[in-house]
Structure 1
Amino acid sequence: MDVQQDNPFQTPQADLQQASASTLPLYRIAAVGLGTFLGTPLAGAWMLAHNLQLLGKADRVAMVWGVAVCLLALTLALAFVLPEEVPTLPFAIGQLLGMVMLAKHLTEADIQQHAAAGGTFLSNWRAAGIAVLFSIAVMVLLFAVLMILDV
């Protein structure tokens, strides 16, 4: 009887398998754009941060949030300063293009590899729902700030 083989307290000799990146669902770049359009750059940043976390690029998440907050703050500041006759659509398009270009720059190659490896993607409907929640949260926050300032 071999003591090493019959030891019930010995750890098993099985190989541990890590979850591969192709098994984790990501958001498409279009979902980041949809989230930005419907729910401010903060929603797009949330989806992009999700992708960056799963792709092992967590060091870039803070930069993404910084860009999103700056885009939103710039747009809100311009909305209060510019006259009402100025159309708002160019500002929404600018935010959209900024976040989509950032998403392409940071994750496009990884997302293409993910798709080529048969990886799964999260639904754009989910992205739209998250965007609506972000939009509601921003509206509530703006309403509260305006009530405090009594504008």
Structure 2
Amino acid sequence: MFDVSQTDGKPLPSVESPKILTGESHLYTKLQQACPFPVDEVGSLGGANGKFNLFTHQIEIVHALPVAHKAKTLIHEWAHGLLHSNGPVDAMRKPLIELEAESTAFVVGQVLGLDTSEYSFGYITGWSGKEAVNALKACGTRIQQAANSILMALEETQDLRKAI
């Protein structure tokens, strides 16, 4: 064991804890309308903000969250539905699964003008730690495909509205 005074080099970067997004967002309603999975708001999920149910293919989101965070959570759970709905989650794969879903939420949020970085970076490193960069490289294509699927669904919903 060493004291920090016995070491040298650049300070280690710090990653903050995930911060709940605050404020309003018009995106939540649009996301609900475009999402292929039913979305329900619930009182509590035992500390989680959202959940994708593998058996019913339903998304649950905590009602008390700020609307901007509900939007981010809906994207995250939608990504689980697209990427991870083919069976129970193996505990060994859980960090990768969470990295994929949150990275998808980050990418989609950025495209839609919803900055999720104060939540997403801490969440991803909380699950993947120093392996996050390697994991992102390994599943970048899956993240891009899920983000594209969500964005296309939103675009199709908007196109349908214009046609009506």
Quick one: higher RCO (CA 8 Å, sep 6+), 1 or 2? 1
Which structure features the higher share of helix residues?
1
With the length of structure 2 as denominator, give the TM-score of the two structures: 0.29
Q: Which has the larger radius of gyration?
A: 1
Which structure features the higher share of strand residues?
2
